[in-house]
Structure 1
């Protein structure tokens, strides 16, 4: 990805001219073509009738692009309104939990997933945390030592929301597949940032949101379900699409769309299809290289700011584009708000996002910069200049932690 490529990509992304955006892990900036795809579908619905403007080709484009992203088959992909909605649907479809059954998770598990698991714990299941290695990543060898006949699920957040760690998802998958244990991956921060091959990961379920590094619209998400695992999942919610009437009975579909409903926003899916196709044309490896180059350099430069402490996990030079830090004298939410007034967007996470990891590390909140291939060195210079200035005038805020 050379300078000409970057200039072209930024020129067709309207937000790049308005803000210095370092919150791609929250939601990235869509291209004008993605915006146009949403608007054009809405116009067709407004002018010709919403039902009459329904076009199966929109969903086909999105499904084919998602399958190419994941190295999966289109029939193994379902769409949802959010990553959390997709994950909870798949988890609840596992069926009732029995006392003594075990769920093994990484310490960095996303809180929304843990909230679903809490219902299983109420039924008597045990939630257990897999030990970390010396770099703070989930340890596959430690996981292997935990396996017994009571383990019913292994769940992993591949890239945690509160720092730069990249968990060894494929190695965890090897342990899960070897023992025949269902394996769920939360790839919310990975999709659009890292190459993602579900065959290599050996996962049974993987989900991610469209709005993050994929640069799709809010309100979109995708879920992969391994074909051989699908029959073990019985969705709680069903309708005429997911369980159609065959003349005698209502029968669940034999593809991933058993997790979809007949009511869907084609406008949002049209935007997602365009965003996915743009990502696939750029190529996941080229994107990964640029994000790694920018974020590795930024981490080093952040160390020069007085009072700033990096709060990342993971081996050096093997981290994601998410950079967590705290700044002495600043509440992270107040820091985020102050930078926003200067048109610089960052994130701020509290304990509620990743409670197991934040509590284990004694952190109450962190500021988070997340870098995309769209960012430039000039933008990074502006961010650093502002952080350096704010470091010299601490301002404690009583703001509550932001979601």
Structure 2
């Protein structure tokens, strides 16, 4: 990979060390220009007219996303964020008293709140699958817990709170054999390393544009396996989702488009399309290998520092690294890094409830490099950690 060329195409990399790609990746110039060009077109000719003029490029977004994850364009629905995409899939299912929803300890906080909501409203039961000795979801326990009451397995591929990569292909094998729907939250994995829906074997997948895909905020998507449409009833209906029959009925649109809404920010959609195309041009194999190498470099060097502990779980780990310095509040570490123009995030117990119940280690400093970062940038972050740890 031509890192310096990629950095020249990334305006933000010239003035900060951006290790917050698990929050929002830096826009490339290619993506930025796609967004601003459409905004300028809207200003010049009108919003409806601009959309009509760029209809072909807007529609091609579904094709590019499908290519990215190994699906088909008609299996993709665009959303304004990944949580709305996930909710559209989850709330399309029907639950009743005694039904079971199986999930993992690394599940994302908004998903957990949705599970709690449905459990309170319908009497369904939430079952948290334990971790194995490495800290990833225990697939043997998952297989043992699935029974005829199990209506959904919902898993986060990569948690918001660490570098764990759950064994989703094995989870998919188990759910397919059991005939149980599998909803995968791939918000932190799509764009970071290759994700193929055929290899994973999930029935629904959701992701965002703003993180490792380096797209604009306010973008996300849902992929739905065609067979899953037989048991999914979209929770809302509007003119983009169905066709009126001329009387008192309607017919859902074919494929995943039945989950979309008519109104959208087409500048953001075109920005997402540009970001996806760039990821495809670079190659997800190359991106994944580089990002994982940087994560390993950072994790190993932080772990070697006296007084610093890293907290990433699992047999396979990615570019997200979580750490804490003994006797130094997490917020103070993040502030010290910010003072050196190093962008990071901190984990929030509210966003990782089941993991918090299990480990009680949050908040942690979350560092998430991506392929356009350099080892020299990581060394600067490691140096800040070392100085803080030595002074504590």
Instruction: Give TM class, smaller chain.
Output: over 0.9
CA contact (8 A) 2:336 2:384 kept: no
CA contact (8 A) 1:22 1:372 kept: yes
C-alpha deviation, 1:340, in angstroms: 1.3
CA contact (8 A) 1:231 1:254 kept: no
Give the Cα–Cα distance (whole angstroms) in 1 for the partners of residues 90 and 4 of structure 2.
Answer: 42
Give the Cα–Cα distance (whole angstroms) in 2 for the partners of residues 263 and 90 of structure 1.
Answer: 19
C-alpha deviation, 1:47, in angstroms: 0.5
Residue number in structure 1 paired with 2:16:
19
Residue number in structure 1 paired with 2:65:
66
1:149-164 alignment runs, 5 A limit:
149-164=148-163
TM-score, normalised relative to structure 1 = 0.94
Could you give the per-residue CA deviations for residues 110-164 of structure 1, whole angstroms, max 9, x where no partner exists? 0111111112211211101112111011121111111111000001101111111
Residue number in structure 1 paired with 2:189:
190
Residue number in structure 1 paired with 2:350:
352
Residue number in structure 2 paired with 1:389:
387
Q: Determine helix, strand or coil for the equivalent of 1:52.
A: helix
Residue number in structure 1 paired with 2:99:
101
Residue number in structure 2 paired with 1:49:
46
C-alpha deviation, 1:18, in angstroms: 1.3
Give the Cα–Cα distance (whole angstroms) in 1 for the partners of residues 222 and 58 of structure 2.
Answer: 14
Give the Cα–Cα distance (whole angstroms) in 2 for the partners of residues 326 and 385 of structure 1.
Answer: 14
Give the Cα–Cα distance (whole angstroms) in 1 for the partners of residues 57 and 113 of structure 2.
Answer: 33
Query: Which structure features the higher share of helix residues?
Result: 2
Give the Cα–Cα distance (whole angstroms) in 2 for the partners of residues 293 and 111 of structure 1.
Answer: 28
Residue number in structure 2 paired with 1:211:
210
1:28 equivalenced with 2:25 (yes/no)? yes
Residue number in structure 1 paired with 2:172:
173
Give the Cα–Cα distance (whole angstroms) in 2 for the partners of residues 312 and 175 of structure 1.
Answer: 25
TM-score, normalised relative to structure 2 = 0.97
CA contact (8 A) 1:34 1:275 kept: yes
Give the Cα–Cα distance (whole angstroms) in 2 for the partners of residues 24 and 107 of structure 1.
Answer: 23
1:230-245 alignment runs, 5 A limit:
230-245=229-244
Residue number in structure 2 paired with 1:398:
none
1:334-373 alignment runs, 5 A limit:
334-373=332-371
Q: Determine helix, strand or coil for the equivalent of 1:244.
A: strand
1:92 equivalenced with 2:77 (yes/no)? no
Question: Which sits farther off after the overlay, 8-17 or 350-359?
Answer: 350-359
C-alpha deviation, 1:238, in angstroms: 1.4
- Structure 1 moving runs of 4+ over 4 Å: none
1:282 equivalenced with 2:282 (yes/no)? yes
1:294 equivalenced with 2:291 (yes/no)? no
Q: Determine helix, strand or coil for the equivalent of 1:53.
A: helix
1:253 equivalenced with 2:257 (yes/no)? no
**Cα 1:364/1:377, change in 2 over 3 Å:** closer
Residue number in structure 2 paired with 1:138:
137
- The number of equivalent residue pairs is 388
Residue number in structure 1 paired with 2:313:
313
**Cα 1:59/1:246, change in 2 over 3 Å:** farther
Give the Cα–Cα distance (whole angstroms) in 2 for the partners of residues 110 and 38 of structure 1.
Answer: 29
C-alpha deviation, 1:328, in angstroms: 1.5
Give the Cα–Cα distance (whole angstroms) in 1 for the partners of residues 279 and 6 of structure 2.
Answer: 11
Could you give the per-residue CA deviations for residues 169-214 of structure 1, whole angstroms, max 9, x where no partner exists? 0100011111110100000110011211101111111001100000
* Structure 2 unaligned blocks of 5 or more: none
C-alpha deviation, 1:225, in angstroms: 0.4
CA contact (8 A) 2:112 2:353 kept: no
